[in-house]
Chains A and B, each alone.
Chain A
Amino acid sequence: MIFRIFRKELLDTLRDRRTLMTMLVIPILVFPITLNVFMEISNSFQESASAKTMKIGIAGDKSQSYTQQLEAIPAAIGPKKIIAFKDSAALRTAIEADEIQLGLLVPSNAKELSKQQQTITLNWLLDASEVGRSERAELYAASLKANAEAERLQNLGLRPEQIRPLVVNTVNCASDKKMVGQLAGGILPYIFIAFGFIGCMYPAIDLFTGEKERGTIETLLTVPVLRWKILIGKMMVVVCSGMLAASCALMGLFISIEFLDLADNKELLEVIHSILTPYFILSMFALLLPLVIFFAGLMIPIAIYAKSFKEAQSIITPLNIIVVLPSMIGFFPGISLDFTTVFIPVINVVLATKALIAGTLTWPYFLCVFGIMCTLAAMAIAISHKQFGKERNLLL
């Protein structure tokens, strides 16, 4: 009988456009569309920025040395035009008026300082609020600095090694998989939790509050089926919707990575492929299923209690923030699963999923998180059952 109720409620839910949008369409399309739009905009900005001729003003370069050095920098960095200015005030005015994009202020005694082997201080003048200007200035500065250092070493008759007695390298022993897990592992559980919650929301409201509002609950409760069976049949649809929405969002993200060149680094792609094994997917679903049941168990008592769709929505929507905010903890480095975090719902699933991606999740932690979430899910079902049994909640 539970399966019969589930079948009917699923059919009803799948015919609801609003639920279908939040359960399937938005989760699948949100990442491909937003990432595509973001990348298109970002690329077009980059292209237009690199294609744009940057006007560079120079003041104080009596010997024309720096002008020549700048001229010699290959145009691959971006086209440029060099204009001479008489002083720093004129340079600043031109930058403020956007007549030039970068201004290089060379000290008037640069030649003397060079001869005396003193430090020459160059100043870049720029509007840092404009995208790409600081980066371009740094590139030019690096080239000028390298030239000056090479010239100084030559004058002193030294080789670079002679003034660089020690080089310290850091060797990263972590696997690529672990690095991806630690740095980007937070996004996967975040997506799953956020969409899992949203996916549960509309079916929960529709199947409980909606049934009261439409006046169909009265007849449903007069059938010879135990109320807990009706509750479980409906709850299964809510959980399925949450899992489906979350899975669709992950699928959307996967499509974005595979087909929209989101990760154009081949090595990174290989790491992602090595993470997405059937074992990983099954383990992740095992962690997330009790979490989604827990979500459903949180929403259903509210949906049962609420007298209208609006009322239910106004209570459940803020709950979204309470649930989704902790799931962002996965983005912070340094927080990992331990015997404190393992007991905090939502956070434990995020950290366990992150560790799962990194390949560092141990069985005791996995079982602990799974057990805790199953207990919480069972408690949430018990609360839903209690609310569903109350006459005041069921009849308007």
Chain B
Amino acid sequence: MISVQNLHKTFALTKQQRKELNTEAKTATAVSDLSFSCQPGRIYSLLGPNGAGKTTTLRMLATLIAPTSGQITINGINALEHPQEARKHIGFLTGSTGLYARLTPLEIIDYFADLYQVAAKDKAERKAYLFDLLNMNDFLHKRIGKLSTGMKQKVSICRTMIHDPSVVIFDEPTSGLDVITAENIIKLIRSCKDQSKTVIFSSHIMSEVDLLCDDLAIIHKGQLKFNDTMSAFRTNMMTNNLTEEFIRIVQMPTPLA
């Protein structure tokens, strides 16, 4: 389970960034006062246009960066106070995830299993299970640099799941992938749900969200514009289709505090 309370993140702007953004402000707010929770066995989707603050939010959940203020709890662990402990429960996959091109899939999976301190017996079992599931056995000993995009994506999935995380974070996982490769990710997200894992994923594509999610949050300029179940979103729609409704919500003025 993920619980987020009053999450806030500001970044200090460099001189160059201030010039580019044409601002005198010394900081920029990426995320402002976000609160939500993601339940096990449900898929929580973070939907928003580019630059909305989705990646920053997910990076904070994955303990990659620290929030300026607020609280994050992962499976009851305070992620800000005990990030190492929280990381053991998290699997993190992004659309832009790279792999070590000079290593083989087997070497990469072994490396990450060791970093997650997976016991030798569990490692062997997890590897056998995931290699069969993802049909990876034919290219385990080939260098990553020589693999197709689809094969690489399978390796990324395997790397994310090798320590059997109970919380899985996907940051625009299908970005840049063709439909067939993206299908692997869709299957993975569904399989995580079936295994009662807590799943959160970000996207800017409404159709993808519609296909997968149970709970939906719409984020724009770092602020939460909608946070409810997907069925509630559908029921309360004021436009003809999901995309139009998403645009309507994003363009809604933020109520004054």
Chain A residues packing against B (C-beta within 8 Å): 1, 4-5, 8, 11-12, 15-16, 214-216, 218-226, 391-392, 394-395
Residues of A within 8 A of B115 (CB): 1, 4-5, 220, 223-225
- Take A4-B111, A11-B107, A395-B59 as given contacts and tell me if A222 and B64 are in contact as well, using a CB distance cutoff of 8 Å: yes
Contact B85 A224 (CB under 8 A): yes
- Take A223-B112, A395-B59 as given contacts and tell me if A15 and B102 are in contact as well, using a CB distance cutoff of 8 Å: yes
A139 vs B196: C-alpha distance in the bound complex, in angstroms?
97
Query: Could you tell me which residues of chain B, from 31 to 66, have a CB within 8 Å of some CB in chain A?
Result: 59, 62-66
B94, CB-defined interface residue at 8 Å: yes
Contact A8 B64 (CB under 8 A): no
A215 vs B25: C-alpha distance in the bound complex, in angstroms?
30
Could you list 22 examples of A-B contacts with CB < 8 Å? Answer: A8-B103, A8-B107, A11-B107, A12-B102, A15-B103, A15-B143, A16-B102, A214-B98, A216-B99, A216-B100, A218-B64, A219-B92, A219-B98, A222-B63, A222-B64, A222-B87, A224-B88, A224-B115, A225-B115, A391-B65, A391-B66, A394-B64
Contact B111 A219 (CB under 8 A): no
Contact A222 B100 (CB under 8 A): no
Contact B111 A8 (CB under 8 A): yes
Residues of B within 8 A of A12 (CB): 100, 102-103
Residues of B within 8 A of A15 (CB): 102-103, 143
Contact A219 B103 (CB under 8 A): no
A394 vs B112: C-alpha distance in the bound complex, in angstroms?
19
Q: A222: which of B12, B66, B92, B102 is its contact (CB, 8 Å)?
A: B92
B159, CB-defined interface residue at 8 Å: yes
Residues of A within 8 A of B63 (CB): 222
B116, CB-defined interface residue at 8 Å: yes
CB distance from B99 to the nearest CB of A (A): 7
A391 vs B12: C-alpha distance in the bound complex, in angstroms?
11
- Take A222-B63, A222-B64, A391-B65 as given contacts and tell me if A216 and B102 are in contact as well, using a CB distance cutoff of 8 Å: no
Size of B's binding interface in residues, CB under 8 A: 32
A395 vs B98: C-alpha distance in the bound complex, in angstroms?
13
- Take A4-B115, A222-B92, A391-B66 as given contacts and tell me if A214 and B101 are in contact as well, using a CB distance cutoff of 8 Å: yes
Contact B111 A218 (CB under 8 A): no
Chain B residues packing against A (C-beta within 8 Å): 11-12, 59, 62-66, 84-85, 87-88, 90, 92, 94, 96-103, 107, 111-112, 114-117, 143, 159
- Take A15-B102, A391-B66 as given contacts and tell me if A223 and B59 are in contact as well, using a CB distance cutoff of 8 Å: no
CB distance from B94 to the nearest CB of A (A): 6
Q: Which of B66, B85, B102 has the most CB of A within 10 A?
A: B102
A350 vs B101: C-alpha distance in the bound complex, in angstroms?
39
Assuming A219-B97, A391-B64, A395-B59, what are 6 further A-B pairs, CB within 8 angstroms? A5-B115, A15-B102, A15-B143, A214-B100, A216-B97, A222-B87
Contact B99 A226 (CB under 8 A): no
Residues of B within 8 A of A216 (CB): 97-100
Residues of B within 8 A of A224 (CB): 84-85, 87-88, 115-117
A4: nearest chain-B partner, CB-CB: B114
Nearest 10 Cβ contacts at the A-B interface: A215-B98, A15-B102, A224-B87, A214-B98, A223-B115, A216-B98, A222-B92, A391-B65, A224-B84, A224-B88
Q: B84: which of A215, A218, A226 is its contact (CB, 8 Å)?
A: A226
CB distance from B95 to the nearest CB of A (A): 10
Q: B64: which of A5, A11, A215, A221 is its contact (CB, 8 Å)?
A: A221
Residues of B within 8 A of A5 (CB): 115
A166 vs B85: C-alpha distance in the bound complex, in angstroms?
89
Q: B116: which of A16, A223, A391 is its contact (CB, 8 Å)?
A: A223
CB distance from A3 to the nearest CB of B (A): 10
A214 vs B66: C-alpha distance in the bound complex, in angstroms?
23
Contact B65 A395 (CB under 8 A): yes
Residues of B within 8 A of A220 (CB): 115
Residues of A within 8 A of B100 (CB): 12, 214, 216
A220: nearest chain-B partner, CB-CB: B115
A214 vs B102: C-alpha distance in the bound complex, in angstroms?
12
Residues of A within 8 A of B97 (CB): 215-216, 218-219
B59: nearest chain-A partner, CB-CB: A395
Residues of A within 8 A of B94 (CB): 215, 218
B86: nearest chain-A partner, CB-CB: A224
Residues of A within 8 A of B99 (CB): 214, 216
A226 vs B111: C-alpha distance in the bound complex, in angstroms?
16
CB distance from B19 to the nearest CB of A (A): 17
Contact B90 A222 (CB under 8 A): yes
Contact A223 B87 (CB under 8 A): yes
A223 vs B64: C-alpha distance in the bound complex, in angstroms?
10
A8 vs B94: C-alpha distance in the bound complex, in angstroms?
22
Residues of B within 8 A of A8 (CB): 103, 107, 111
CB distance from B146 to the nearest CB of A (A): 12
Contact A395 B64 (CB under 8 A): yes
A15 vs B146: C-alpha distance in the bound complex, in angstroms?
14
Residues of B within 8 A of A219 (CB): 92, 97-98, 112, 159
A160 vs B88: C-alpha distance in the bound complex, in angstroms?
95
A16 vs B102: C-alpha distance in the bound complex, in angstroms?
7
B90: nearest chain-A partner, CB-CB: A222
A8 vs B98: C-alpha distance in the bound complex, in angstroms?
16
Residues of A within 8 A of B59 (CB): 218, 395
Residues of A within 8 A of B114 (CB): 1, 4
A8 vs B114: C-alpha distance in the bound complex, in angstroms?
11
A177 vs B65: C-alpha distance in the bound complex, in angstroms?
58
A16 vs B92: C-alpha distance in the bound complex, in angstroms?
27
A224 vs B116: C-alpha distance in the bound complex, in angstroms?
6
Residues of A within 8 A of B88 (CB): 224
Residues of B within 8 A of A218 (CB): 59, 64, 92, 94, 96-97
A366 vs B63: C-alpha distance in the bound complex, in angstroms?
46
